[in-house]
Structure 1
Amino acid sequence: MQDRPTVMDFLTLIGLSLIWGTSYILIKWGLDVFSARQIAVLRLGLSALALAPFAVTHLRRISPGQLPVLLLVGLTGTAIPSFLFPIAQGHLSSSLTGMLSSLTPLCTFLVAWLVFRNRPVREQVIGIVVGLMGAVLLAYVTPGEGTQSSQLAYAGLVLAACFCYGTSANLVANYFRDLPSLTITVTSFFLIGLPALIYAFTAGGVVPTVQEAGTAGWWALVYVTILAVGSTVLASFVFFRLVQRTGAVFASTVSYLIPVVALLWGLFDDERFALLQLPAIGLVLLGVFLSKRK
């Protein structure tokens, strides 16, 4: 049985939202030097490197028959989104990307309904419709460099990443209920991240890119390292610990705080803001709230 949330749990929740909400501005700053592909392989590779000390212990707990599904968990929960987010952010503001990522719980439910046949109640179906309407409105009204149609297209990549996260979560819930969450995290990250690390520092061209960019290159590498170690590895550990202490319902409220952090970082970095973004993100969060109703 989980404990009632303490003051420390609330502080942990705020800290977690700051870590995850900051990841989008880190991607933006990394894109000043690196390509989207380089950011993705660096994020995956450095995450695997950070988890290396835990790999041997946790890999021993995995049976050969579990590896294919764990590989799919790693692809959908880590690898594919690591590419989709920087590609999208080459054309979208970091704040818009962060706000759209709050659709992840809604997408998780939608995958559970369509793929794993979890029957929804009426409020959940309404939540899906409301949340998707909010996402379209958010992409449409947010100021950007491209046309509104191009913003909608790249917002679709963020939505695809959210569906990837939702697929990964459902795979874990349906196939690995008895496997420790840290074992799942370490194994899935390591299966994907180790090849990415080798690629990043060989054919990936990371070293020449850093050398050519000089000081800016080293700063970009710092941003991506923080993204990998902080917003990916550390945040995963903290989140799972929070779930164990307080339960999934309390921990999942981080979804409502991440867009706020992403928006504040965007304003700090002089990204343009439209007042219509507020009701749009309100619709998204309302949709997420309704999709969690039982």
Structure 2
Amino acid sequence: MPKPVQRNAVLALLLLAAIWSYNWIVMKQVLRWSGPFEFSAWRYALGTLVLFAALRLRGVSLRPPPLLPVLLVGLSQTMAFQALVQWALVDGGAGKTALLAYMMPFWAVPVAWLALRERPTGLQLASIAVALAGLLLVLEPWHGLGVPGSAALAIGGGACWAIGMVLSKRLFQRGEAGLLSLTAWQMLVGSLGLVVIAACVDERGIEWNVSFVAALAYNAVLASGLAWLLWSYVVERVPTSVAGLSSLLVPVLGVLLAWVLLGEAPSLSEAAGIALVAVALLVVGTRGKRDGDAATVRKPPQRDHERA
């Protein structure tokens, strides 16, 4: 992987981690003023508008990528993931829900192995094992995972996200979709699914106030529009296992932010778990620098319908 591309992917991941780690707090707080599904529908509908506006400003064609893959990515990565984790937050804590949802990398490795023939190296498997051990120390499941239903929803959301990530990677590998186009169209599909769910579920109405509007704006512009675009950028440029494992930076950063901003100091077990995840990230990142050229599929040439 060329150094500028690698550096840009790392910067994108760091910005993404900052946006998403704080957003778990926002998503929990917003339930004071809205039901989970209606908020999710509003969030992604507005995020979709942001992305399609970006398409027009960039002069990119509005012609969609292949419809079936886009449909599958949108339903798994946007609709199912967001609906499940937002539902999990109704009874589950923000930190615990985020950590359970971010078991996604452990689902992504076997899915990528089967679908993309991305066989993980021994070092990647070892890094995943170390990260899993660290995640378990942070979660402390021997003290319970909170509400069982909430935990299952969060884990299910992570599995759906892994499927969407692998499907997106396959589209990029085949050169069948541009970065911005795929992100916008799959989000449109997922948003429509969330609107249908919100219309069918009986939940409390939205209490429109300044705090809710601010949370909605943060989610629509940053956590949905910009962040999913950054995520697609990372998935396009690094191996699936590396992208998935690197995403663990989000819940780890969330724990640290809670410590700094809210005074929620991690326990000894949590601190040890964070250290293990950090080691795993460091190892897989260092390996990626040496093996990037062999492991990473180069950016496909721009398709005619994607050109300005």
Q: Report TM bin, short chain.
A: 0.7 to 0.9
Name the counterpart of 1:159. Answer: 155
Displacement after TM superposition at 1:21 (Å): 1.5
Displacement after TM superposition at 1:219 (Å): 1.2
Residues 256, 207 of structure 1: CA spacing in aligned structure 2 closer, same or farther, 3 A cutoff?
closer
Instruction: Say which SS state the counterpart of residue 140 (structure 2) adopts.
Output: helix
Name the counterpart of 1:68. Answer: 68
Residues 278, 171 of structure 1: CA spacing in aligned structure 2 closer, same or farther, 3 A cutoff?
same
- 5+ long unaligned stretches in structure 2: 292-308
Q: Which amino acid aligns with 1:183?
A: S
1:30–1:221 contact (8 Å) kept in structure 2? no
Displacement after TM superposition at 1:79 (Å): 1.0
1:128–1:288 contact (8 Å) kept in structure 2? no
Residues 290, 227 of structure 1: CA spacing in aligned structure 2 closer, same or farther, 3 A cutoff?
same
Name the counterpart of 1:248. Answer: 238
2:35–2:204 contact (8 Å) kept in structure 1? no
Instruction: Say which SS state the counterpart of residue 31 (structure 1) adopts.
Output: helix
1:99–1:263 contact (8 Å) kept in structure 2? no
Residues 232, 192 of structure 1: CA spacing in aligned structure 2 closer, same or farther, 3 A cutoff?
same
Q: Aligned to 1:280, which of 273, 276, 285?
A: 273
2:73–2:186 contact (8 Å) kept in structure 1? yes
Displacement after TM superposition at 1:25 (Å): 0.9
CA distance in structure 2 between the partners assigned to 1:44 and 1:34 by the alignment: 15
Name the counterpart of 2:300. Answer: none
Percent identity, aligned pairs only, is: 23
Name the counterpart of 2:294. Answer: none
Deviation per CA, 1:227-272, whole angstroms, max 9, x where unpaired?
A: 122112112334556778xx537x9586354234312443334657
CA distance in structure 2 between the partners assigned to 1:17 and 1:95 by the alignment: 14
* 1:74-153 equivalences in 2 (<5 Å): 74-140=74-140, 148-150=144-146
CA distance in structure 1 between the partners assigned to 2:25 and 2:2 by the alignment: 34
2:75–2:189 contact (8 Å) kept in structure 1? no
Indicate the larger mover: 41-50 or 178-187. 41-50
Displacement after TM superposition at 1:71 (Å): 0.7
Displacement after TM superposition at 1:6 (Å): 9.7
Displacement after TM superposition at 1:151 (Å): 5.2
Displacement after TM superposition at 1:101 (Å): 4.7
Instruction: Say which SS state the counterpart of residue 32 (structure 2) adopts.
Output: coil
**Aligned residues: CA RMSD:** 3.8
Deviation per CA, 1:136-181, whole angstroms, max 9, x where unpaired?
A: 3332269xxxx71535663443333222222112112224431211
Instruction: Say which SS state the counterpart of residue 90 (structure 1) adopts.
Output: helix
Instruction: Say which SS state the counterpart of residue 276 (structure 1) adopts.
Output: helix
Name the counterpart of 1:266. Answer: 258
Displacement after TM superposition at 1:203 (Å): 6.6
Name the counterpart of 1:37. Answer: 37
2:17–2:249 contact (8 Å) kept in structure 1? yes
Normalised by the size of structure 1, how large is the TM-score?
A: 0.74
Residues 154, 125 of structure 1: CA spacing in aligned structure 2 closer, same or farther, 3 A cutoff?
farther
2:25–2:94 contact (8 Å) kept in structure 1? yes
CA distance in structure 2 between the partners assigned to 1:189 and 1:53 by the alignment: 13
Instruction: Say which SS state the counterpart of residue 4 (structure 1) adopts.
Output: helix
| Greater RCO, CA 8 A, separation 6+ | 1
Confirm or deny that 1:219 pairs with 2:215.
Answer: no
1:52–1:190 contact (8 Å) kept in structure 2? no
- 5+ long unaligned stretches in structure 1: none
1:94–1:266 contact (8 Å) kept in structure 2? no
Residues 36, 271 of structure 1: CA spacing in aligned structure 2 closer, same or farther, 3 A cutoff?
farther
Name the counterpart of 2:179. Answer: 181
Matched length: 278
Q: Which amino acid aligns with 2:158?
A: C
Displacement after TM superposition at 1:24 (Å): 0.5
CA distance in structure 2 between the partners assigned to 1:116 and 1:270 by the alignment: 43
Residues 129, 117 of structure 1: CA spacing in aligned structure 2 closer, same or farther, 3 A cutoff?
same
Residues 233, 279 of structure 1: CA spacing in aligned structure 2 closer, same or farther, 3 A cutoff?
same
Displacement after TM superposition at 1:94 (Å): 2.2
Confirm or deny that 1:210 pairs with 2:202.
Answer: no
Residues 18, 44 of structure 1: CA spacing in aligned structure 2 closer, same or farther, 3 A cutoff?
same
Q: Which amino acid aligns with 1:220?
A: F
1:95–1:265 contact (8 Å) kept in structure 2? no
Normalised by the size of structure 2, how large is the TM-score?
A: 0.71
